[in-house]
Structure 1
Amino acid sequence: MDEMGLNASVVGQLQDLVIDSEDVSGFLEDLAVFTASSVSAARGQDVLCGVTLSRRRRSMTVAGSSHEARLIDEVQQAYGDGPCLEAMRTGKSVLVRDTSTDSRWPEYCSTIAERGHLAVLCVPLRLEEGATAAINLFAPHSDAFDEASIRSCEQFASQAEKALRLAVRIGARQQRAEDLEQAMRSRTAIDLATGVIMGQNRCSQEEAFRILSKASNGRNQKLRDVAESLLQSLTNETPVSHFDA
């Protein structure tokens, strides 16, 4: 974007944020800091930035350029409504020119006005199905964002959302890999424990698994935890799955 320098350099920096982040939460934090710095430089005043991400079957993730920025977004989550959530629902940017007089979200606006944040601009990020997000900007003066700055921020968001899509995809693949590894580790412990029970009770694999399951239900513990407890009592070590490098 022109005001914030939307060029190959900025696009490259957004890509670097994805590469350098260990997970989605880390990327959101870095994105919030980068956005706040870019907007502040363009507007000539300190602007805070929060980024909110909602994904199916996951709790909402809130990141911020500072502790205060995260707190402001969390306040909105507590009230259950506000400009950020409105932007995420409608897919349209939401501007609050003066939080001290805006009547759409009186509780939220009153709270952040008391904290010295008088202007809010929330720009949605268009993600893949099942996920929504928004960049939330907070300024200390009313009417801090004009039409030109809104267009500028929307152009920036169009690039940021591409980087966020990539970060979410990478995060999803990492999660699937971790889930698979966890499942294989669970399977290892359960199989070994079943073998121990077969040897101790001179029974079939099916009967040994039934005994293990009964112990799991009786103790109200996960099957894997009961299996590992049994193995640790014998070897004093936790079984580990081995993978080829």
Structure 2
Amino acid sequence: MGIAGFPQEFADRAATILGHGLEVSVTMRQAGVSVRAGSSTEAAARCDQAEALDGRGPCIDAMDHGGRRVIASVADAPGWERWSRQCVEEGFVTAAAVPAAVTADVAVALNLYSRAPDPWTPELLTAADAFAQLVASAVGLRLELAVLEDSTAGFYRDMSDAVATERAVGAIMQTNRCSADEARRIIDSASRHRNVSPREVAESLLRALVVEDAPDPADDDPGLP
């Protein structure tokens, strides 16, 4: 159930197919929460994780506004300081974010990172757009199957609010490589901004992103029983 590991395969394939030495991450935005779903390199993963934890960056901006973003110089990207610092630390000089809508509430994006200046030819960006649409189609199909499976099994109906939220915390911890406290802050922030309960945010995330062997938040938080 869930999208599991296939965004990782898409990130690897995108890096190979698009060429130009690009390093690629796939990010998904669901219920107001952004998670890095797969990356072709650890450097690209760290940049997307910095963006997801900060809640700001070109990928999130592209998904929120439905348009491609090309950042000529990552060092000079205004308003995205955490992401920008991470990019510079990894040795990237330019980047592009290419979004695609899945549903009204779900979007994906390719974050493309380059260590060489200005590889963004019209042909490359057109190919990236097509690849982002392919990822969105695959995610949409998997979400439809996940909802059908949930309806059949009553999977979430019998799950308490606390259990659902803690499972979502574990999934966010693994995908964004963050602490339990940071994951809970992400869920709480999405809940406030969208005026829905943390349970609704958690359930929506769990349908979209079920991670195998997700860590137990209690292992990261000695205050939990």
Gap runs ≥5 in structure 2: 160-225
Give, as a single letter, the amino acid of the residue that structure 2 aligns with 1:29: Q
Gaps of 5+ in 1: 1-21, 185-245
Query: Whose RCO is larger (CA < 8 A, sep 6+)?
Result: 2
**What does residue 140 of structure 2 align with?**
165
> Share of identical aligned residues, percent?
20
Which residue identity does 2:147 align to in structure 1? A
Corresponding position of 1:61: 35
Deviations 1:94-136 (A, max 9, x none): 0112212333524421321121111211111111121121111
> By percentage of residues, which structure has more helix?
1
Structure 1: which amino acid aligns with 2:91? Answer: G
Aligned equivalents of 1:65 and 1:173: distance in 2?
Answer: 31
The answer on 1:133 being equivalent to 2:112 is no
What is the 5 A alignment of 1:89-168? Answer: 89-168=64-143
Give me the whole-angstrom Cα distance separating, in 2, the residues matched to 1:153 and 1:180. Answer: 36
8 Å CA contact 1:119, 1:145 repeated in 2: no
Which protein has the larger Cα radius of gyration, Structure 1 or Structure 2? 1
Q: Please report how far the alpha carbon of residue 69 of structure 1 lies from its aligned counterpart in structure 2 after TM superposition.
A: 2.3
TM-score (ref. length: structure 2)? 0.62
* Residue of 9, 14, 18 corresponding to 1:39: 18
CA change 1:181–1:151 in 2 (3 A) is closer
* CA apart distance, 1:80: 1.9
* Distance of 1:122 and 1:146 partners within structure 2: 14
1:192-226 deviation per Cα after TM superposition (whole angstroms, max 9, x unaligned): xxxxxxxxxxxxxxxxxxxxxxxxxxxxxxxxxxx
After TM superposition, the structure 1 = structure 2 runs for residues 1-245 of structure 1, keeping only pairs within 5 Å, are: 23-40=2-19, 43=20, 45=21, 47-56=22-31, 59-63=33-37, 64-180=39-155, 183=158
Q: Conserved in 2, the CA contact under 8 Å of 1:97 and 1:145?
A: no
3-state SS in 2 of match to 1:149:
helix
Question: CA 1:181–1:107 in 2, change beyond 3 Å: closer, same or farther?
Answer: closer
What is the identity, as a one-letter code, of the residue corresponding to 1:76?
E
State the secondary structure of the residue aligned to 1:92.
coil
RMSD: 2.4
Q: Which residue of 2 aligns with 1:213?
A: none
1:177 deviation in Å? 3.9
